[in-house]
Chains A and B, each alone.
Chain A
Amino acid sequence: MTPLIEFRDLKKSFPGVQALKGVSFAIGTSDRGEVHALVGENGAGKSTLMNILGGEYPPDGGRLLLDGRETRIADPHAARSLGIGVVYQELRLCPNLTVAENIFLGRERELGGGKVRWGMMRAAAKGILGRLGSPVDPDSLVRTLNVANQQVVEIARAISLDARILVMDEPTSALSLKESEALFKTIRDLRESGVTIIYISHRMEEVFAVADRISVLRDGSYHGTYGREQANPDQIVSLIAGRELGAELGGSRPGRRGPGGRGDKAVLSVRNLSRPGCFDGVSFDLYEREILGIYGLQGAGRTEVLETLFGLAPKWSGEITAFGKPIRNASPAEAIANGFAMAPENRRDAGIFPRMTVLENVNSANPAAMSGRFGLLRRGAMRDVYAEARRGLSIKTSSERQLARNLSGGNQQKVVIAKWLAANPRILLVDEPTRGIDVGAKAEIFRIIKDLRDKGLSVIIVSSELAEIVSESDRVLVMRHGGLSACLEGGDICREGIMRHAL
């Protein structure tokens, strides 16, 4: 019996990270359908694997076999003609077109045998939506649908392709319970009709409700396939989390302190912080001289909490108290004045000024020092800040006039941190401190962050890398579905413990 899909030693690297480190396993069989769940933490390689299958990009090495034959999937179109349909997590719909138009986008002439027949498309769309148990009208504009219904349209589009292989990347993340159940029924029906469904999800209940087999990925490596009856959710969670890997960042928890090491004064108290559609009822304290890690899976609301604290959220409720006085932080300017600083997740877009020089970048959040009377720039003072940053954080630049966009990811992150240090913050928020940064620079970034903590700064880091959170945080908050699910200290901070609260 030939497997339907077989990965053999598949490898893929992106700048600063090896997303797939030689993955080999098989999915489905040629003669009948299967629901195959793919599980793993953020960055385990699930999406990379599915993007390769969907023709988004080629692997760097290894082979992909379909029906036992080696296949190269050059682009998404090729994937489609091989019978592979992908429902991506981020919706790919044209909001200005109708549901039916979206479902048949790019294939307008298919049903009419070379002619565009909107009537047939509408009828076909209605049929598919009916099969999905969805009341969505094929003539309504996608723009007017809520996210759940837009998701249904994506699924309908994939089904309309008569795909043999259907990849669903967290399809239920925006669906209600009832809609999810309708989806599960559809998935089972599709399987009966011979379709193989690759189902990516973080929710163990769903995985065990719908999947025949479960494959686990961790850190870009394959960690086994289990039949639904062979394993229980607890075992799978352990596999996803892996064992304690303290050595990953060069030594176990370097410089880690117990709760006694930090100051006992809360510099920041957050009470019942809520932002509609993002997170709800988040309360925590941040102490003097500590690194507070926030972990959560994608969409848990981690980044949104940081944005809200830094004045980038449009609308929120709750209370924020910093240094004993209540604050609102309605804008970044106000947050900065209150002693906050933030190194954002999307460093290249919102952290650095890519087309400005390093000298200008490190001065960009520090108007008081860089300009004198009448707003005149003080080149001398700016050079001092640059020299200090270069020395203190060992930023590698060819000259002060080098453009920030030409720096490596690690040096860009240092530039962002340097820019904030020049503004003398007391609370530093760092979102994904090491995204796109190579291993050597990662350790250096954390050495800098720890140094700052020891000098009295309070730091919050948000990271989707479990290993990083475990080894670098003094305390860990875990978020799940927009709420705080745990606050871990000392010995409780371990991969498995965190993962249990995150899933």
Chain B
Amino acid sequence: MPEATGRGRFGLFNMRELGVALALALIVVLFSLLSPYFFNISNFINIVRQVSLLGIIAMGMTLVIVCGEIDLSVGSIYGAAGIAAGVLMVGGHAVGSSVILGLAAGVFFGVANGVLVAQVRIPAMIVTLGMMNAARGLALIFSGGRVVNISPRTVKADGLDWFLFMGQGRVGEIPVMSLVFAAVVIAAYFLYHHTLLGFRMRAVGGSRAAARASGINDKLVKIAAFGIAGLLSAIAGQLNIAFLGNVQGTTGQGMELNAIAAVIIGGTTLSGGEGTILGTLIGVLIMGVLNNGIVLLGVSPFWQMTIIGAVIVGAVAIDKWTRKDAQA
């Protein structure tokens, strides 16, 4: 069992995750009562598919925030990595190598973020704001500002079938995209709770001075977190193009803020050092359920943003309040 926050545990959850999980359950019950279409398996599968890409990005964001940093560039990396792969495929390159280059681009952007933050010591807010614009610009340049379509008509190389299957296919009832999401969650959980690297991310985020004084290379740890966030954004970007069959330069705008929102709702503190993978997973699901339920109820989509906004602030407010209790 991981000792994530050191507070009491309740079965699979620690206390803080339990709070977020209860909130999720409450929302589910509420929508089930309000809408006849909400509570059924196919809708749930739909919700999970809708949040899969956001969820993959939020896992990387969790690691970055736990290190006490922030990454505003994940949405742009998501778009740019998809564009890179798509343009390469349409340009006649093998599907496999196009995807690998797209992923490599994501890692490159992420590591560049990490080096600038940890080594050059520019605040992450500024570095990743710059990267957000730079990667977005590169995506637009590379695509020439046009929509990149991938279909058997535009991509002649082999392997397009399996690539599209990753985005559109299903195993039984379950979308492949969601299986990838599940795999990422498990990998992130393992990395974060069961490896030295995950331990050190928490140590560096909790107290950089103590981490340095303990001989931990805080720079490498941060670079790794940003690199992983870049890679996961690029993976989500590949799945996105495979799902839609097309991608454009503006894809993924605003995604970074949704990812941060999910992480925060999930109980990770912006100051670093605290947070769990399970919490982020529940945070992502809360965002998905809210979006889905509001649409089913026929409420104006403008309300979605308002409600999500209130949930973000409310979640942190409740957490602060309960924690004061726990400490007293």
Residues of A within 8 A of B (CB): 310, 312, 331-333, 335-337, 342, 344, 346, 349-357, 359-360, 364-365, 367, 370-371, 374-377, 400-403, 406, 419
Chain B: minimal CB distance from A239 (Å): 39
The answer to whether B195 touches A400, judged by C-beta atoms less than 8 angstroms apart, is no
In the complex the two chains form, is B215's CB within 8 Å of A350's CB?
Answer: no
Q: Which of B163-213 contact A (CB under 8 A)?
A: 194-197, 199, 202-203, 206-207, 209-213
Chain B residues, Cβ within 8 Å of A365: 214-215
Decide: A333 and B215 in contact? CB cutoff 8 A. Answer: yes
Q: How many whole Å from B217's CB to the nearest CB in chain A? A: 7
**B274 on the A face (CB < 8 A):** yes
Among candidates B194, B206, B211, B327, residue contacting A377 with C-beta atoms closer than 8 Å:
B194
Count of inter-chain pairs, beta carbons less than 8 A: 91
A352 vs B210: C-alpha distance when bound (angstroms): 6
Q: When the two chains form their complex, are residues B196 and A332 in contact, meaning their CB atoms are under 8 A apart?
A: no
Minimal Cβ-Cβ distance residue in B for A416:
B210
B273 interface residue (CB < 8 Å to A): yes
Residues of A within 8 A of B158 (CB): none
B195 touches A374 (CB 8 A): yes
Partner pick for A356 among B196, B206, B215, CB 8 A cutoff: B206
Q: Are A355 and B206 in contact (CB under 8 A)?
A: yes
With both beta carbons as reference points, the residue of chain A lying nearest to B191 in the complex is identified as: A375
Indicate if the CB atoms of A349 and B203 lie closer than 8 Å: no
Cβ-neighbour of A400 out of B3, B207, B212, B217 (below 8 A):
B3
How far, in angstroms, from A364 to B206 measured CA to CA in the complex?
A: 12
Q: B11 at interface (Cβ–Cβ under 8 A)?
A: no
Residues in B neighbouring A310, C-beta threshold 8 A: 213
Q: B194 to A403, Cβ gap below 8 A?
A: no
Given A350-B213, A356-B203, A375-B196: 13 more A-B contacts, CB < 8 Å: A310-B213, A349-B207, A349-B210, A352-B207, A353-B203, A355-B5, A355-B206, A357-B6, A360-B203, A365-B215, A375-B197, A406-B327, A419-B214
Q: Which of chain B's residues have a CB closer than 8 A to the CB of A376? A: 194-196
B202, B211, B214, most chain A CB atoms within 10 A: B214
Contact residues of A: prevailing secondary structure: mixed
Q: Find the residue from A342, A352, A377 having the highest chain B CB count within 10 A.
A: A377
How far does the alpha carbon of A403 sit from the alpha carbon of B273 in the complex, in Å? 12
Chain B nearest Cβ from A372, distance in angstroms:
9
Contact A344 B3 (CB under 8 A): no
B5 — which chain A residues lie within 8 A by C-beta? 355, 403
Residue among A337, A354, A406 making CB contact with B207, cutoff 8 Å? A354
Complex alpha-carbon distance, A21 and B209, angstroms: 35
- Give A332 to B210 CA distance when docked, in angstroms: 10
**A230 to B43 Cα, complex, angstroms:** 92
Quick check: A312 and B213 within 8 Å, CB to CB?
yes
Q: How far is the CA of A147 from the CA of B143 in the complex (A)?
A: 56
User: Which of B3, B7, B206 is within 8 Å of A353, CB to CB?
Assistant: B206
Question: Interface digits, B6-29 against A, CB 8 Å rule (1 contact, 0 not)?
Answer: 110000000000000000000000
A370-B196, A400-B3 known; A342+B203 contact, CB < 8 A = no
A342 to B212, CA, bound (A): 12
Establish whether residues A364 and B6, one from each chain, have CB atoms under 8 Å apart when the complex forms.
no
Bound CA span A176–B170, Å: 79
A residues in contact with B216, CB < 8 Å: 333, 364
Tell me how far the C-beta of A352 lies from the nearest C-beta in chain B, rounded to whole angstroms: 6
B217 contact set on A, CB distance < 8 A: 333
Closest to A368 in B: B196
Q: Roughly how many angstroms separate A167 CA and B96 CA in the complex, as a whole number?
A: 75
CB-defined contacts of B214 to chain A, threshold 8 Å = 332, 336, 364-365, 419
Q: When the two chains form their complex, are residues A350 and B6 in contact, meaning their CB atoms are under 8 A apart? A: no
B208 → chain A, closest Cβ, in Å?
A: 9
Scoring B residues 102 to 125 as 1 if CB is less than 8 Å from chain A, else 0, what string do you get? 000000000000000000000000
**A365: nearest chain-B partner, CB-CB:** B214
A402-B195 in contact given A332-B214, A333-B215, A342-B213 (Cβ < 8 Å): no
Determine the chain B residues whose CB is within 8 A of the CB of A335 once the complex forms: 215
| Nearest-Cβ distance from residue A302 to partner chain B, whole angstroms | 17
Q: How far is the CB of B148 from chain A (nearest CB, A)?
A: 38
Closest 8 CB pairs of A and B: A350-B209, A333-B215, A371-B196, A336-B215, A375-B196, A357-B6, A365-B214, A403-B6
- When C-beta atoms are compared, the residue in chain A nearest to B194 turns out to be A377
A-B contact pairs, 7 of them (CB 8 A): A310-B213, A332-B213, A333-B216, A333-B217, A336-B214, A336-B215, A401-B7
- Which chain A residue lies CB-closest to B217? A333
Contacts of A332 in B (CB 8 A): 212-215
User: Within the assembled complex, what's the spacing in Å between the Cα atoms of A400 and B6?
Assistant: 8
* Nearest B-chain residue to A337, judged by Cβ: B215
Contact partners of B207 in chain A: CB under 8 A: 349-350, 352-354
**Cα-based distance from A333 to B219 in the complex (angstroms):** 13
Q: Is the CB of A401 within 8 A of B6?
A: yes
* Residue from A333, A352, A374 having most chain B Cβ neighbours under 10 A: A333
